[in-house]
Structure 1
């Protein structure tokens, strides 16, 4: 019988036999003596103890009740004893160069070449059913990799769960011996850029680290660039573009996040050795820790030297700058003070020079951001150039404006930021002059392009046409826009409600509706097409190529959704104005589709527009889905066939009168209902009075009226019984009449 005790070893509660604990204690003490003079001895001992604790945990996880002497001796044999390395270390030191050290530190573990045999579920290393660990044992891989692959399959398609259940049912279970290489998948903290996932994968598969990084980054970057261009060309897209979640790069982004969360980081020396597939023993752990310490020391010394050099350089620059600026400031102040007493304003101007320079820098940065926005917008609307620009020079100047005027400042600023971050300094000022010269050329190109384009909009023409329509039989006209039977999805560009463009045409919704009073008793519809051009003949030519239709069915007027501008025809601010004349007493309703589908815009400035000279007082404002009636006073809104208020009237007194009228109507209606109710009750009472009276229900007897006055006594005594009966019968009738009255 052996005594079992519980110990706290590297943060783990380990049940261990007392004799095994004595062996472990002696082993750890020998390690402390062996590494007493080594650099980083505490880290070496701590990592060796951590590795032993991991092996203890694996043994307990496989079903062992406690740690026995055999388990401790096996771990010590795999880790190695200090005396085993003394002779080997002396041999290494006696060899020339670092050849022996290299052979010692690159001791690789070769996987077992035994036949694989049958596929089982592993009972020793299972989280759920042992399927992943069994497949990993069969393929001689790290179980973490198989679990990650299965999780990704389940996450992306859902079939991974079904596959796991089928293998769980089909495969038999068996405790398997771990014949897998000691190489494990970890995140590498030494060569990480974000989380060390790519460098950990490169260490596991023994490939260059740039390969997995390129696999993760390249699809994401291309997705971002394609998304920017795509959503610049299609402006009606999803507000959450597929930069992260809608492409293969987005899938790899999710994979990277999952790997970051699942794969542990190799912090200890034994974990780093497992990551590289090297044998984990005392010597390799010692070499790994010492390499880390030497690397950290060299990096710290290098960083300290750089910081010291930068500090000295910065101090000398600051000292020199302040010396020069101070002397310059003193000379300027002395010159200004001697010049005149009124030159004090120059002193204040010089003092606030730095402040103004700061403000100028902020403005320059804001302009740069604006230029970047214009650059992106210019790329987005660049397909419009085929419908907007004409001739070689306009296209050439457009490219020059985009690349030189908008693109050069962005490139120059980006270059400056990168050079500042990398600490690159150059005394050659030719780069700055080159960027400045290119930007000036871009500015000249932009101004020239604006001048040439403005010449194409100098003249303006219009063409009116009155349509023949049938008068609505009900006296009410409905204006709407029909639904399109064809859906176009291959658009390059769409500015919601204004412009949409396909491969060979530009579709414009530039249509305006005016409502005015008719001069007679009939409805009239007038269509006016207008366009700009370099001269009147070109403007009229553009109008002739416009095709806008208006159809009528009964009392409903259907307006086209817009008109097309073909590739051969340039955009010259073409538009249509529909004027509807409404006779007095007739009604009109404009459907909400009109306001949603048709939108007016103009590129002309100020009063260059032809309809700016029209009398706007003759036009009435309107809202969609609201019925109006034309009166002698103008267009009025209709609600429930009752006239409520004028569209353009905002007089509060009229609103008060309208409320009073409504209140009066309401009171009158309540009085009428109350009168009808009383009249009905009176009729029911009258019917009740007309019924024959049942005299048997009244019982009465003669009464003798005692009165001291003889006259009254004689009168009472002289009444006959029949007369008294009639008086009693009249009593309920009188009561009923009083109730009615």
Structure 2
């Protein structure tokens, strides 16, 4: 057995065999000798060590318990040995000298065609496999990405965005396609560019990955903003461009989607800081010479920028000399510490995107966790967009500068930050990125805590406005209907020309209905039916409202306009009542109490169902007032009722008609009615049976039987009819 030790290599704890560690030390020492005369030797060696550490991490993720001699030799073969590059350099110089001598010996004529080089990528795609070394849920996306030669993170994002149509495709591929450990051949990765950036380098990274000009993704992300700025004057004069819906589509949902996409990519995609990461971003081979060339280019670029900045500072003014010296010193120290800082900030996830999650948990547990995260995300999105849908009503609930600031804090920080955090976590898991930087989590936590404070302060401010409750009562004696029956209908008292579909539902299903941007209507009305103390119909309307003080609540209750109208036997009630933006919503309500005298009738139309009653109570200090209503009753709409002395309103169809004419409210005897109906049916069957039997003995001249109604009834005894009649009278 070989001895295994743990080493701290470029910020990573690597278990490695002792003999393999000796091979690694010899290789790094040979690199130091090879780059001894190179400018920026320490930076080159540091970047090479960072790349070696990434390759070691990939081996450990694939199931290796430690780094062996074979693993070190594999890494050295992929990076290249110094002696191999020295031999290649000697061969190149020899070929150049031979070519030069050949050209000197030529006397003229056209040169031959340039030599043709065979492509190094001669291996075909082969068979499709699921990648068991780099997987989150089955390894389907990683296998497809390796088969198509693209970054696995791109394929995973496609499946996430198109989860609805591609869900069953993913499941079928998971079942059908076999799993295998695949040697990845992907050399291009998605990073943010640290050199080509305006804000965060997202567009520069996308341009490098797709090998396009940087201005193309920048134009795509900036186009909605540009069109929004152009459409601003038209929105002011032509009311949001109602004559053409194009700008709304471009600057609306698409602009919001691109904005959040940019923010999420900014947060989730790492920056290419090391030389190996920059080579991966451009899709170039990562070896000793490529890392050396990249470091040299960075140093040359940094030196040229420093010299240019220094000249500009010197030429600006004499008093800027001290600042130029300070800048030169900071630039020099920055150049020396460039590699160490870049290495510490490098991505620790390696090229095995998403592999850590697939190793730590099983697919079933990951599916359950993903489902729970999806439910939580959907809940937060519903609350967020529900808050946006509710925002037009904000001015009817709160007022003042600080209340509005707290409302925006609740929407953007308390609800928006968890959504952004979940998206960031999801994309980082997909991309296999694990950052040791705790600043992002601290920033999310701080912003969400501020949002929570906004929630508490806003709830305290709003609840204060609903602290007390007051009521105003009006009583009216109704005219006696000619038919002794009162019909109650609900009529529409608003024009309804303004769109009020805030919640995406039928307006009648909600208590809030918009008349115009400054006025809403409420249908918080309740109807109660009680027995009148005299022989007249009475109508009482009680208008309720809440407020910060009893005086404020009473003032708002007085402003509630609810005026019923009687037209003979029909009592017409307004469908709703208005509340303005200045009065604010304070749970205004109307209680309609109809007093019905004994023996009189009442019927509620089906339109009464449009009323909706609810109460918002901050504490248990409810409002109480004196009344003479001992009992209230609930009655069914579309049914006629009659008020009784002791039992309240009774449904007409449930009372015996004959007893009702006599002034008695006796329920129907349903068993007696069923018995009466059964006796009647049996008598009819008996009579039909007797007639059919008599017809069977009566034949015509052709020998056929026929029915002769009334022929035999003349011979029936008269007593039979009297018996039936007497029986019916006794039954009644």
TM-score between the two structures when normalised by the length of structure 2: 0.43
